[in-house]
Structure 1
Amino acid sequence: MDYLVVKWLHILSSTFLFGTGLGSAWYMLFANVSRDVRAIAVVSRYVVIADWLFTATTAVIQPATGFYMAHLAGYPLHSRWIMWSVTLYVMAGACWLPVVWLQMRLRDLAASAARDGTPLPPRYWTYFRTWVALGVPAFIAFVFIFWFMVAKPI
């Protein structure tokens, strides 16, 4: 029974983690494509909230439930699929940490521009390009993590 509950929590939290990340990226990307400073300010504010509320909490739940499931199922932690999953998870986390900082800067710059009725400064767009550049490898890492979790290939 423990295994099924932990597996359910693991799958549910992975859904929140991946879904929030993908959804936030989608709305942030297209708010920025619109170049509507007020829309960007609103979306970036909610993206930061979603990241702290969902991504940060599930980022902790994922390894805790994953390692506990591996223990319950008797999978050795040195299994290659677990080691690859952990490596990719750490890589995605290494991308996510600066993304959180960038999102807070993007939010603040957009809020200032919306409040003052000015265009977004060039620094905003530099941060945004970096945000995208960090999001792509994190997304790819998570796609592979899902594959490793399902297929357990090696």
Structure 2
Amino acid sequence: MDSVLFLDRAEWRILHFAGLAIFLGNVIVTAVWKALADRTRDPRTVAFAQRLVTLTDWVFTVGGVALILSSGFAMAHLMGWGGFEPAWLRWGLGLFVASGVLWGAILIPIQIVQARMARDFCDGGPIPHRYWTLARIWLWVGIVAVLLPMVNLYLMVVKP
């Protein structure tokens, strides 16, 4: 065991899988939940879902990412892969970063705008057309942002 990292490889792997379950579980369930709430077109339901999308992203998505990255880098260190020598590891990290870029550059800014809009219609007011335009963009970019870490999961398990 590497005394600098305090845990052995199996313990880091457990944390890695826990982070993966929290991260992927949240982004998939949140996307489905938000899409179903949006389909109701009920301002109160849409506003409530939008508020919770932001909350669950901060708690579960960010928490899952922190666990995935810290445990992933720790396991790479313990395996002696400091330079990310296996190609599958580089591809996996690249896909994870690409997903993060989509979240940071497109999805989170849309969520912030939609959350602000939702405050205006949470009491039952009309939902502006712009909300629906942003919701479509959020859904389609979100699908890509979720598929990338799912391909990453395949790479990490199969290690081609």
Residue aligning to 1:24 = 30
Residue aligning to 2:53 = 47
Instruction: State the 1:87 CA deviation.
Output: 0.8
**Is 1:119 matched with 2:138?**
no
1:95-138 Cα deviation digits (max 9, x unpaired)? 111312211221221231122x3221111112111111210111
Residue aligning to 2:144 = 137
> Of the candidates 106, 112, 122, which is equivalent to residue 104 of structure 1?
112
User: 2:89, 2:70 → 1: CA distance?
Assistant: 13
Instruction: Return the letter of the residue paired with 2:75.
Output: M
Instruction: State the 1:58 CA deviation.
Output: 2.0
User: 1:57, 1:15 → 2: CA distance?
Assistant: 11
User: 2:42, 2:157 → 1: CA distance?
Assistant: 41
User: 1:74, 1:148 → 2: CA distance?
Assistant: 19
Runs of at least 4 residues off by over 6 Å: none
User: 1:2, 1:73 → 2: CA distance?
Assistant: 11
1:72-111 Cα deviation digits (max 9, x unpaired)? 1334612110011011001100111131221122122123
User: 1:39, 1:111 → 2: CA distance?
Assistant: 12
The two structures have a TM-score, normalised by structure 2, of 0.89
User: 2:122, 2:80 → 1: CA distance?
Assistant: 54
Residue aligning to 2:3 = none
User: 1:20, 1:121 → 2: CA distance?
Assistant: 27
> Of the candidates 52, 62, 69, which is equivalent to residue 56 of structure 1?
62
User: 2:48, 2:145 → 1: CA distance?
Assistant: 24
User: 2:27, 2:50 → 1: CA distance?
Assistant: 13
1:29-52 Cα deviation digits (max 9, x unpaired)? 100011111101111111100000
User: 2:132, 2:40 → 1: CA distance?
Assistant: 13
Aligned residue pair count: 152
Instruction: State the 1:14 CA deviation.
Output: 0.7
SS of 1:118 mapped into structure 2: coil
Gapped runs of 5+ residues in structure 1? none
User: 1:100, 1:50 → 2: CA distance?
Assistant: 12
Q: Point out the structure with the larger helix share.
A: 1
**Is 1:79 matched with 2:86?**
yes
The two structures have a TM-score, normalised by structure 1, of 0.92
**Map 1:143-154 → 2, pairs under 5 A:** 143-153=150-160
